Copies of this chain bind each other. A is one copy, B any other.
Amino acid sequence: MATLSGRTFGSDNHAGVHPAVLAALGAANVGDAVAYGADDTSKAAVTRLCAAAGAREGYLVFNGTGANVLALSLLVRPYEAVICAESSHLNVDECGAPERFLGCKLLAVPTPDGKLTPELVATRLTGRGDEHRAQPRVLQIAQATELGTCYSLAELGQLRDFGREHGLLIYLDGARIANAAAHLGCSLGDIAACTDVLSFGGTKNGALGVEAVLVMADGLDAGGLYHRKQVMQLASKMRFLAAQIDALLDEDRWLANAGAANARASQLAAALAVVPDVRVAYPVQANGVFTDMSRELASRLLPDWPAQVWSEAPDGRRVVLRWMTAFDTAAEDVAEVAAAIGAAARTTAEATALQSPSFT
């Protein structure tokens, strides 16, 4: 089930492809082109994206898992470790692909809001120089985080400085970097400047399927092309990945798409502020709203609204649902789902009241 217009809120990758992206695929389909990125279209798109980020080199890949693993391939040796938030996609939702492919250890740190701080990172820096311990080498962050929060540029700068001071390279998972840039009102380069390597996500931003790995630092592993091939992310008809990047960069469409999605999330959060039994669990700084509610309310909603069950309280009585907006979510969609949540909350409250003993 979904809104009248077909909107589900289950994930920002439930959305389709932006019309401009589809049009760009058609426009790129002219004659032959050299494969594997050696064609002019692909080279130009990578150059353009690198220029926007201030990056030294860039690699287009198929998906976010591929981007994460390729990026880390440039940064770690197998005996080194990656410090990341316990809630990170890298730690939770890659089915162990980083461990399988890189052979290295993730050091996951619990966080209150998906964001690492120098203090949190410092707790995992023990054991350096001890041959029995995997050696921390990378500080991995997501911007926006998986919990819909964003680092400020000041916070990113502090992490970068902390990394410099403690020999940690910074990798920023930018699957939703556009949403963060839209929230912060900053450029891609502003965020990128705080990292050593970052990814730039297209798929959740209206593309059919494309991500990029952008290299900021020099002196890293020089085998990026070989790593990309080995991580099975080398597209033969590369021009069709490049065309998607171009379509997102044209007219700052990446920012516009993200800004639209962010606005819809804010609209939803505002609407829910007055709904009883619903608490927005994290600051809404990107395109996700996390609602803490009773299990009864969640059970009433989920059959009709396939929001993701993000977490459950240990006692099972409270549940957090995740609601995501996309580039093409309409204000009417949000109004519809907010109304549905409100109605369900009222029904739940009435049912609970009926079940309670009355003291008259």
User: Interface on A for B, CB 8 Å cutoff?
Assistant: 2, 5-8, 10-11, 13-17, 22, 25-26, 28-36, 62-66, 69, 77-81, 92-97, 99-101, 103-106, 127, 131-135, 203-204, 208-209, 221, 223, 225-237, 240, 306
Q: How far, in Å, is A156 (CB) from chain B's closest CB?
A: 25
A99 CB contact (under 8 Å) in B29, B105, B127: B105
Determine whether the beta carbon of A16 is less than 8 Å from that of B35: no
A131 CB contact (under 8 Å) in B26, B132, B234, B237: B234
Determine whether the beta carbon of B230 is less than 8 Å from that of A209: no
CA distance A136 to B135 in the complex (A): 25
What B residues does A233 contact at CB under 8 A?
62, 232
CA distance A25 to B97 in the complex (A): 29
Closest B residue, CB atoms, query A34: B14
| Given A11-B35, A96-B105: A208 in contact with B237 (beta carbons within 8 A) | yes
Q: How far, in Å, is A154 (CB) from chain B's closest CB?
A: 25
Q: How far, in Å, is A334 (CB) from chain B's closest CB?
A: 14
Q: How far, in Å, is A71 (CB) from chain B's closest CB?
A: 12
Known: A6-B30, A96-B105. 7 other contacts (CB 8 A): A17-B237, A62-B63, A65-B229, A79-B96, A99-B104, A101-B230, A131-B226
Interface centre among A65, A101, A232 (most CB of B within 10 A): A232
What B residues does A26 contact at CB under 8 A?
22
Q: How far, in Å, is A170 (CB) from chain B's closest CB?
A: 21
CA distance A29 to B15 in the complex (A): 9
Determine whether the beta carbon of A100 is less than 8 Å from that of B97: no
CA distance A112 to B279 in the complex (A): 32
Closest B residue, CB atoms, query A119: B314
Interface centre among A225, A233, A236, A306 (most CB of B within 10 A): A236
Determine whether the beta carbon of A7 is less than 8 Å from that of B25: no
| Given A36-B131, A208-B240: A65 in contact with B225 (beta carbons within 8 A) | no
What B residues does A106 contact at CB under 8 A?
105
What B residues does A77 contact at CB under 8 A?
221, 223
Interface centre among A8, A13, A26, A79 (most CB of B within 10 A): A79
Determine whether the beta carbon of A132 is less than 8 Å from that of B229: yes
CA distance A7 to B95 in the complex (A): 42
A78 CB contact (under 8 Å) in B100, B127, B131: B100
CA distance A133 to B229 in the complex (A): 9
Determine whether the beta carbon of B131 is less than 8 Å from that of A209: no
A63 CB contact (under 8 Å) in B6, B97, B132, B236: B236
A97 CB contact (under 8 Å) in B17, B80, B221, B229: B229
Determine whether the beta carbon of A132 is less than 8 Å from that of B208: no
Determine whether the beta carbon of A131 is less than 8 Å from that of B6: no
Closest B residue, CB atoms, query A77: B223
Determine whether the beta carbon of B232 is less than 8 Å from that of A65: yes
What B residues does A225 contact at CB under 8 A?
131
CA distance A11 to B33 in the complex (A): 10
| Given A63-B234, A95-B132, A232-B232: A13 in contact with B35 (beta carbons within 8 A) | yes
